[in-house]
Structure 1
Amino acid sequence: MSRVCQITGKRPQVGNNVSHANNKTKRKFYPNLQKKRFYIPEEDAWVTLKVSTSAIRTINKNGITAVLKKARANGNTLV
């Protein structure tokens, strides 16, 4: 599975390593992804999602049902 958050859609960004001599080489910045299980009481089911830590904070704040509803409305097919 690719390194993409299933809620926010965050994916790796590309940048440069810059040395002391100002040499630049390509590198990637990976999102902080965690595999996490969430309980959805309306469906009486557990769902395992690969989410970024910022998405976990959003889920804690707004609730898993509201976040999943918004992600599906935005056309996120991973959820």
Structure 2
Amino acid sequence: MSRVCELSGKSGLVGNRVSHAKNRTKVRLLPNLQSKSIYAPGLGKFVKVRLSTSALRTVNKIGIEAYCAKNGIVIR
């Protein structure tokens, strides 16, 4: 299973961990993904999604249908 947010499209990044001696080590920076069941009133059922916590906060604030309409996502 890939570590990509289903709604916002956030995925992992690659960076460097830098020690005090300036030694650089490659590190993967992964998004904070959570699996949630969110109620979609238009569909009349719960939709199971794997989304980042920042997207979850926005969905809780404006609703999943408004979020999907704003970003051009079709929910089923």
The question of a shared fold, defined as TM-score above 0.5 by the shorter chain, is answered with yes
State yes or no: 1:47 paired with 2:51.
no
Aligned equivalent of 1:61? 61
State yes or no: 1:26 paired with 2:14.
no
Q: Distance in 2 between matches of 1:67 and 1:12?
A: 22
Q: Which runs of 5+ in 2 are unaligned?
A: none
Residue 70 of structure 1, CA deviation: 2.6
Residue by residue over 1:15-61, the C-alpha shift from the partner in whole angstroms, topping out at 9 and shown as x without a partner, is 00111211101101111110010011111111111111100110011
Q: Distance in 1 between matches of 2:14 and 2:49?
A: 24
Q: Which runs of 5+ in 1 are unaligned?
A: none
Q: TM-score, normalised by structure 1?
A: 0.84
Q: Distance in 2 between matches of 1:56 and 1:45?
A: 18
Alignment RMSD (CA, Å): 1.9
2:7 alignment partner, SS class:
coil
Q: Distance in 1 between matches of 2:75 and 2:22?
A: 40
